[in-house]
Structure 1
Amino acid sequence: MDLLALADFNLVARHGGFGRAARAAARPKATLSRRVAELESSLSLRLFERGGHTLKLTEEGQALYERSSRLLTELDETVAAIASGGDRPRGRLRISAPLLFSQTAMGKLAAGFALKYPEVRLEVTAEDRAIDMVEESYDLVIRVNPDPDETLVGRIFLRDRLVVVASPDLVRPAANSVVPVVIRGTAEQPITWALTGPGAKSSLAIDPVLRLSSIIMVRDAVRTGVGAGRLPASLVSHDLTTGRLVHWGDVDGPSIALWTLYSSRRLLSARVSAFLGYLAEVFPTGTSDEFAAYMAD
């Protein structure tokens, strides 16, 4: 594929017309029209719908523009970095992060990163849904215990664990007694919680008295004494230290791992490398205690 023709196609698509693109780039309109026509011919695709006074991307043209514009931007930045004798992070960095992590830490992280790398324009979206990084133009995704994906490369930067906690006013029931609990979400839940403690395992028969959509909401409800809850240790560390909550045991199951994920089909940009390095500086050990201290600071 002719990269120059592809760049001209992107120029026209970005400006919404041959005339506007020609004026913006100080290029002949006829040249741009010819090069886009050559690209369409080589691909055997119509990239634009040409009306009397309008120019609109076809479905195929929109797909090509969305995917190629980012690649051309990365190529331009790479060439500029090499020409300037360094690989200085600059440009837009789009990140998708889980809601809880965003609420408790991402604002502070984003501000610190922006101060350290002022030429990067960081955009963070808080969401827990599965996303397509390429289709939705994200550079980096942060997720909790993600499913394996051969199109993504990842690394763990934080680990946490789930603990069962309750208000001191809520008496832990005797064996085989049912305990009121606060649960996140409305999905079907097990009738018991398996716990591990010093040298022993146990279980709690549970009665979900509240179902809430947010971990923060669960913690706030548990604080009132309405029921026990399963929560990340980092989120309740301060409450346990001050005695506002008491620890009933660790949840018997896999730990919580926060991953950074990025596409294996792209070269790692200076922006992504800088953000990964910044996370390593902020969380050098990646433990729940370190994360709790960061949130409390």
Structure 2
Amino acid sequence: MARPGAHFPASAPTRASRERPEHAIGCGSFGFSGSDKVFEIMTVRKIAYQGEPGANSHIACQNVYPDWEPLACDTFEDALSAIAEGEAGLGMIPIENSIAGRVADIHHLLPSANLHVVGEYFLPIHFQLLGLKGAKLGDVKSVHSHVHALGQCRKIIRKLRLSPHVSADTAGSAREVAEWGDPARASIATSLAADIYGLEVLAGDIEDEPNNTTRFVILSKTPRWAEPSDEPTVTSFVFRVRNVPAALYKALGGFATNGVNMTKLESYMVEGQFTATQFLADVDGHPDEPALARALEELAFFCKELKILGVYRAHPYRILSQTLDPDL
């Protein structure tokens, strides 16, 4: 088995020679894909997230680790640094949204952060139109929120003929509306933000799409791979192929020939070069399973670099989505 988070050259060592991680997580029973008991040994029971109190990331932290203290961070870099430096034991980081797509910057930050994915969580996103207490919907002339939230609530913005204004994040826009004290200004944010900043829900669940869902990855400084079992498992990794013809085709061929299902493959430029492309991938399975082990070794042969980010239990939402997919 590969050492968690290790970089492998093209000539990866054989599976038998790879070192096993010291800790592994069991199946979660709390509606997410990690076991809380694994983290009981941690002395720092804080979980870092990007955004202000009341953000969707804050809600995800509360849902998964209700006994942990959420640690708000201004930027994703700050959140990752808090984990790496031991200020927080874990991190809750959004990686993609079913409507808006991948979260900007995370794909660049995650591979170089020297952190490990130990679980995933899918959060249904519900937006509220928040205003001052006592304000009426007809009073509102402008709405403030994160650019993605504004984009995901276009219907009500058009219906009410509101002027949209971009804020750094949803919870921050709620705080600003409370500070401004202007009944003509509203925020698109969460019900938690309404409670925190003393605002009133003028219109509830205003998102355009009812299936709006954000996927979060749970990060740790310490690698913890899920134990091999019959339970659905996800392996996440990044890789860079050699700059030769058909390199990507050959690199991915092992997954097809070994019957490994790849559920995610995204490319992005690195180092400011158009020729330096890195790929982020998720596959079903565990590296200890012979099929995935063979596929990863074949991938490594065609790669300049291969780094496994984590091996963790699949979240129930992922399992349900695959069950309902008519093509699977």
TM-score range, shorter chain: 0.3 to 0.5
Structure in which a larger fraction of residues adopt helix = 1
TM-score of the superposed pair, with normalisation by structure 2: 0.35
- If asked which structure has higher relative contact order (CA below 8 Å, sep 6+), I would say 2
TM-score of the superposed pair, with normalisation by structure 1: 0.37
Q: Rg larger in 1 or in 2?
A: 1
